[in-house]
């Protein structure tokens, strides 16, 4: 254990919420929309510098302009299915700010199933599994290697889903089961290096992926016990705490924010 030689560990003290992530640099895949973008906004407000990643450069640029952040936000084009380019992309991202580091990785890139079980094609199956499960694995691997090489004690937060608690008959559900298991395994492997790995599992959330858009006048959802969608900002607020130093003792856990969907009921 790398911690064995340390004789004293400082006792953490409460931190002002607006300074939870002071001095941190966060890389967020899937950061140009929905939950990923909400996390970028929340991280900035809590003092972090933020790099959003995705595949659409025009959209990333537009989102960066919305984030503003006084020079504290940037973007990089990363396709999480393109494993061979990840290491170089991570180095490029780390060099975007004077700190020359990445303290936080959020694996938020994801796609959802559109076809039923009997109609699922191999192409759709591969796209979902490669993005949601394989992409999360290899992004985590690449960033973990970077953190270890640079002696950074950081955080990795995987975005899974309440679907990881339901019978899995779609590749989306299967991929989220995989991420839940990987979160446990990666936390075990990386904690000795001071890298804390966890997951956050939203239920139905008011994002474009589920057909909810900015300006909609209701977040009513008839199939969840809470009778509404979660808001991306609610997910982001919990995520901000989880990737801060105050979340260091949350290890290998998946925090559910589902309105009861998947936790007290399998439906929704």
The token duo for 200 is 């956050």
- Indicate which residue of 75, 146, 172, 256 is catalytic: 172
Q: Which residue is it, tokens 């399998």?
A: 266
Q: What pLDDT, on a 0 to 100 scale, did the predictor assign at position 207?
A: 77
Q: How many distinct structural domains can be found in the chain?
A: 1
Residue from 243, 240, 259 nearest 251 by CA = 243
Residue 2 has pLDDT above 60, yes or no: no
Catalytic, 75? Answer no
Residue 41 near residue 63 (C-beta atoms within 8 A): no
Q: What pLDDT, on a 0 to 100 scale, did the predictor assign at position 203?
A: 86
What is the residue-averaged pLDDT of the chain?
Answer: 91
Rg (alpha carbons) of the chain, rounded to whole number: 18
Q: Is residue 220 part of a domain?
A: yes
- Identify any residues that bridge with 157 across adjacent strands, giving them in sequence order: 106, 198
Q: What pLDDT, on a 0 to 100 scale, did the predictor assign at position 10?
A: 66
Q: Residue 96 class from Cβ within 10 Å (0-12 exposed, 13-18 middle, 19+ buried)?
A: middle
CATH code of residue 122: 3.40.50.720
Q: Is residue 15 part of a domain?
A: no
Q: Is residue 250 part of a domain?
A: yes
Q: What pLDDT, on a 0 to 100 scale, did the predictor assign at position 258?
A: 87
- Put simply, whether the predicted model's pTM sits higher than 0.85 gets the answer yes
Q: pLDDT tens digit string along 11-32?
A: 666 566 668 999 999 999 999 9
Residue 227 near residue 221 (C-beta atoms within 8 A): yes
Instruction: Give me the mean pLDDT over the 123-140 stretch.
Output: 98
Instruction: Give whole-number Cα distances, 77 to 42, 100, 109, 239, in Å.
Output: 21, 18, 12, 23
Domain interval for residue 234: 20-257
Q: What pLDDT, on a 0 to 100 scale, did the predictor assign at position 214?
A: 59
Residues 27 and 131: their CA atoms lie apart, in Å, by: 17
Q: Is residue 102 part of a domain?
A: yes
The token duo for 119 is 């109609």
Q: Is residue 112 part of a domain?
A: yes
Q: pLDDT tens digit string along 68-102?
A: 777 899 999 999 999 999 999 999 999 999 999 99
Residue 215 has pLDDT above 70, yes or no: no
Q: Is residue 158 part of a domain?
A: yes
Q: Is residue 9 part of a domain?
A: no
Q: Is residue 59 part of a domain?
A: yes
């Amino acid at each position: 254990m790398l911690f064995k030689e340390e004789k004293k560990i400082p006792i953490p003290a409460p931190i002002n919420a607006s300074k939870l992530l002071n001095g941190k640099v966060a890389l967020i895949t899937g950061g140009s929309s929905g939950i990923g973008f909400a996390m970028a906004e929340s991280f900035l407000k809590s003092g972090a510098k933020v790099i959003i990643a995705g595949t659409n450069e025009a959209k990333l640029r537009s989102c960066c302009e919305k984030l503003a952040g006084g020079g504290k936000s940037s973007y990089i084009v990363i396709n999480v299915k393109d494993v061979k380019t990840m290491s170089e992309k991570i180095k490029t991202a780390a060099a975007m700010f004077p700190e020359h580091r990445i303290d936080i990785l959020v694996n938020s890139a994801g796609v959802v199933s559109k076809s039923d079980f009997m109609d699922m094609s191999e192409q759709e199956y591969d796209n979902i599994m490669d993005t949601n499960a394989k992409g999360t694995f290899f992004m985590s691997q690449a960033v973990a290697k970077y953190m270890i090489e640079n002696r950074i004690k950081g955080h990795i937060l995987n975005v899974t889903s309440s679907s990881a608690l339901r019978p899995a008959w779609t590749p989306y559900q299967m991929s989220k089961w995989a991420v839940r298991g990987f979160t446990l395994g990666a936390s075990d492997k990386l904690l000795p290096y001071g890298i804390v790995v966890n997951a956050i599992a939203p239920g139905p959330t008011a994002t474009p992926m589920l057909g909810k858009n900015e300006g909609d006048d209701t977040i009513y959802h008839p199939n969840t016990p809470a009778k509404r969608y979660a808001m991306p900002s609610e997910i982001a607020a919990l995520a901000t705490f989880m990737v801060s130093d105050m979340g260091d003792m949350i290890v290998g856990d998946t925090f559910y924010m589902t309105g009861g969907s998947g936790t007290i009921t399998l439906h929704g």
